[in-house]
Structure 1
Amino acid sequence: MTFGATLPEPQPPSATPPVASTTPMPIVVPRTGNGKLNVAPGTSARVGSGELIEYRVEVEDNLPVDPATFARIVAATLGDDRGWTKSGRYAFRRTPTAPLRIVLSSPATTDKLCAPIQTRGEVSCRNGNVVAINALRWIEGADSYGDDIDRYRQYVVNHEVGHTFGLGHQGCPGPGRKAPVMLQQTKGLQGCKSNPWP
C-alpha cells in the first residue's frame, strides 16, 4: 500500500556550515546628493552661560546618516566643557527654526552650499549662516586623525562653528605642540598634534 511519493533519504549535515562575515560593510557616501535637506526634529536644552547661539541641524536626504544621530553628536560637541562654552562667552541651543544651520551634506551639495569658497568635494566650510559639513569627511575622517573618527568629528564641528564667531585660520605654534582648533587640520597638522577643542 502506497501513501504518496517516496521521500528522499535525509542528508547528513554539512561538515562546514556557512560562516557569517565579520567584516563590516563599508559606508558609502554618494558624491552627489539629492539636495533635499531634512531638519532634525526637536529642541535641545541650553548649554553654557554666555551669549546664546541657536542653531538647527539638517542632513541631506540620501545620506547614510540619521539626522537625530548627527544632531546628538553636534549637541554633545557644542555642549562639551572643553569646547566653546568653557570661556563663558557662548551658549548653545538647537531649535528647528534657528538661523544658524549646521548641515551634513554630500560632497557636491557641500560645494554648492560653500560657493564661492572652493571645497572641491573634499572639505567643509562656513558660508554666511551655513556650516556645511562634508559627509565624506564625516564618515572617513582625515589622515591627521587616523582611525579616530569621533575626535575628527568634534574637530570639524568646532572648527567650522569657530568661523561663525569671526575666527580665521591659524598656523601651528610649534612642532609637537597642540594644534589650535582653527588650524586647517583636515589638510594637515604642520608638525602639531591633533586637537579638536578650542
Structure 2
Amino acid sequence: MEDHAVSGARRRHPTKSELTVRRLSVAVAALAAATLLVAAGVAGQTAPPRPDPAARIAPTLSTPPAPATPATTAPEPATARPTPAPDPTTVPKAADGTFTTAKSTSDRLGQAGTVITYRVEVEDGLGLKLSRFTRAVDATLGDRRGWTATGTRSFRRTPDAALRVVLASPATTDRLCAPLRTRGEVSCRNGNDVVINAKRWVQGVDSYDNLGKYRQYVINHEVGHALGFNHQPCPAPGAKAPVMLQQTLGLDGCAANPWP
C-alpha cells in the first residue's frame, strides 16, 4: 500500500529562489575547493627569502675598493758619523807656502778690557785641518786661565785682523821668523806674525807628556810675545813654570805650565 501511495503522489518542482540559493552554494563550494588546492600547492614550496637590508649597502663592482693599508717599512739604521781622522804625526819639511784663512768671526773671547783681533791661517799642503787649529787657538785665547784672566784684554777672531796666528811647515816657519833662527824646530813671533811650527804642533816636546797642554802653551807663549811679554826664567826648582819660560827647550827644574 505504501509503494502505491508514493508512486501515486504528485512531484513538486523547486521555486526560482531556491534554484538561486543552490547555484550560489555550488559556486562558493567550488571557490573554497580551489582555494584549498592553491594553498596546498603553495605549502609544498619553499618560501622566498626575505630581503636582506645589508644587501642594499653592500659594495658592488662599481664601488672603488678600500685603500690598502700601506706596509710598514722598518726604519733604516742610523748611520754613525765617521770618527774624524787624527792629525798626522809627521809633517812635510816644506809645504805650499800659501795659506788658507778662517773666514768666520768669533764671539768676543773674554768679558772686559781692550779687544785684540787676530786671524788664523794654516799653510796649504800640510795635511792639517784649518778648523781644528782654529778651534784650538780660540779655545786657548778665550780660556779664563789665559791672557783674559786679568780683565784688561779680550780677543776676537776676524778674517782680516793684522795679527796672524799661523800654522806653518818648518821651512816656512824659518822664512817667516827670519832673522830669528828657528832652524826648522821651534816657533816664533815676528812682528804681527805668531808662527807655530807644524813639527812641534804634531810631535810636541819631551818636557810635556800631554800634547794638548803643549799646544796651549805654545799658543800662549807666542801670543804673549805679541802682547809685549819677554822670556822669563824658572823662579825655583819645582815651581810652576812661567808661560814665558822657553818650555819647548826645557823646564829648568820647573813644572810644565801652559797658562800665564
TM bin, normalised by shorter chain, reads: 0.7 to 0.9
Name the count of aligned residue pairs: 174
Q: Report the counterpart of residue 6 of structure 1 in structure 2.
A: none
Aligned amino acid, residue 116 of structure 1: P
CA distance in 2, matches of 1:26, 1:141: 12
**1:64 matches 2:127:** yes
Secondary structure of the equivalent of 2:194?
strand
Secondary structure of the equivalent of 2:195?
strand
CA distance in 2, matches of 1:170, 1:26: 32
Give yes or no for contact 2:88–2:202 (8 Å, CA) kept in 1. no
1:92 pairs, out of 155, 159, 164, with 155
Deviation at 1:26, TM superposition (A): 5.2
2:106 pairs, out of 24, 30, 44, with 44
Give yes or no for contact 1:28–1:64 (8 Å, CA) kept in 2. no
Q: Name the CA shift for 1:25/1:161 in 2 (closer, same or farther; >3 Å).
A: closer
Equivalent positions of 1:106-185 (< 5 A) are 106-146=169-209, 148-185=210-247
CA distance in 2, matches of 1:101, 1:44: 15
Deviation at 1:68, TM superposition (A): 1.2
Deviation at 1:28, TM superposition (A): 2.4
Q: Name the CA shift for 1:189/1:55 in 2 (closer, same or farther; >3 Å).
A: same
CA distance in 1, matches of 2:88, 2:173: 22
CA distance in 2, matches of 1:179, 1:50: 26
CA distance in 1, matches of 2:88, 2:145: 31
Q: What is the TM-score normalised by the length of structure 1?
A: 0.86
Deviation at 1:69, TM superposition (A): 1.0
Aligned amino acid, residue 110 of structure 1: T
1:77 pairs, out of 123, 140, 148, with 140
Aligned amino acid, residue 181 of structure 1: V
CA distance in 2, matches of 1:35, 1:77: 26
Deviation at 1:27, TM superposition (A): 2.8
Q: What is the TM-score normalised by the length of structure 2?
A: 0.66
Query: Please, which runs of 5 or more residues in structure 1 have no aligned partner?
Result: 1-23
Q: Report the counterpart of residue 254 of structure 2 in structure 1.
A: 192
Higher RCO (CA-CA < 8 Å; seq separation 6+): 1
CA distance in 2, matches of 1:123, 1:27: 16
CA distance in 2, matches of 1:171, 1:102: 25
Q: Name the CA shift for 1:26/1:113 in 2 (closer, same or farther; >3 Å).
A: closer
Q: Name the CA shift for 1:104/1:26 in 2 (closer, same or farther; >3 Å).
A: closer
Aligned amino acid, residue 69 of structure 1: R
CA distance in 1, matches of 2:240, 2:87: 34
Query: Please, which runs of 5 or more residues in structure 2 have no aligned partner?
Result: 1-85
Identity of aligned residues (%): 63
Secondary structure of the equivalent of 1:143?
coil
